[in-house]
Structure formats: C-alpha cells, structure tokens
Amino acid sequence: MLTATILIGFILAISIIVVLAIYALKLTKQVKQVQADQALKLKDIEVRAEAAMDEVALGITVLARAHLQGELSSTEACLRICHSMDQLQLSSLYRGIYPAIFEVSDRAQDFPIMAAYKALSPKEQFKLDRQRDELEQEFEESVKRSMTGLSTFERPKFDDAAA
C-alpha cells in the first residue's frame, strides 16, 4: 500500500512537472513572438524615420538651389537650412563647415516676419529691411559658396555602433 501511494505521488509529481514544462514552453513561445513583433515594429519605425530624415536632407538641397537661382533671400534660406540641420541634429557638425550660413541665421533669427513685420511702422520696416540687406551683403560671397556646397548635400549616415 505504501508503495502504491509513493507510486501515485511520483506519477502526480511527474504529471505536474510535465504540465508546468508545457506551460513554460508556451510562455516562451509567446515571449519570442512578442519580441519578434516588437523587432518588426522597431525596424518599420527606423525605416520611416530614415525616410523622413532623407526628406529633410533633400529639403536642404532644394533650399540651397532655390537661393542660388534667386528664388530665396539669403536670410530666408539660411534660417530654413539651419532649422533643417537642427532637425537632423547636424548643426554642430556643419556649423564649422558652413559658418556663414549659421552666422546669418543667428543674426536674423529674431527679425520679425509675417504679421509681426506688417505690424511694424513703415519706418521700422525700412530700418529692418536695411539691416537685412546689410547682413546679406556682408555674407553674400561666403553664403553663395556655402549654398553651392549644400546644393549637393547628402545626409551623413552613421553606423549604429551599439548594434
């Protein structure tokens, strides 16, 4: 009788272990599936982010070419390009390469635009226009050289060292 009780206990213990092992395998499979789904979603996000950054980089070339063709003033082109560089987190890298663009942008960033410009008196508008013209003349040649370089801008692609 004692042997039968031990045998039943042993069979019951083995049954519990088998059930728990099957449950553990099921949970492991679910975790792996969730991890695979997360990896796919992350890859999709990375691809979309890369495409968005490439669009911003393309915008820099379009702005530079528009300036070279006389479609944008130096101040407007510099402000927009610097904003795009900020979006790409490349300002610190390119500030040393194209200092004139960043200098014009830094000096012009507080100029009133649109409604704020229209709210100025004609005398204030004239003074601001004169400041802008002087700024553009001061940096005309260096901005033109910088815009020529940026007209073929390609966003640097850094290897992910952490991967």
* Burial (CB count within 10 angstroms: exposed 0-12, middle 13-18, buried 19+), residue 20: exposed
**Percent of the chain topping pLDDT 90:** 89
* CA gap 71, 87 in Å, rounded: 23
Q: Judge whether residue 12 has pLDDT over 60.
A: yes
pLDDT in tens, 65-82: 999 999 999 999 999 999
pLDDT at 42: 95
pLDDT at 159: 63
* CA gap 24, 22 in Å, rounded: 5
- Cβ of 65: how many Cβ atoms within 10 Å? 18
Q: In the chain, count of helices (H) and strands (E)?
A: 7, 0
pLDDT in tens, 145-157: 999 999 999 988 8
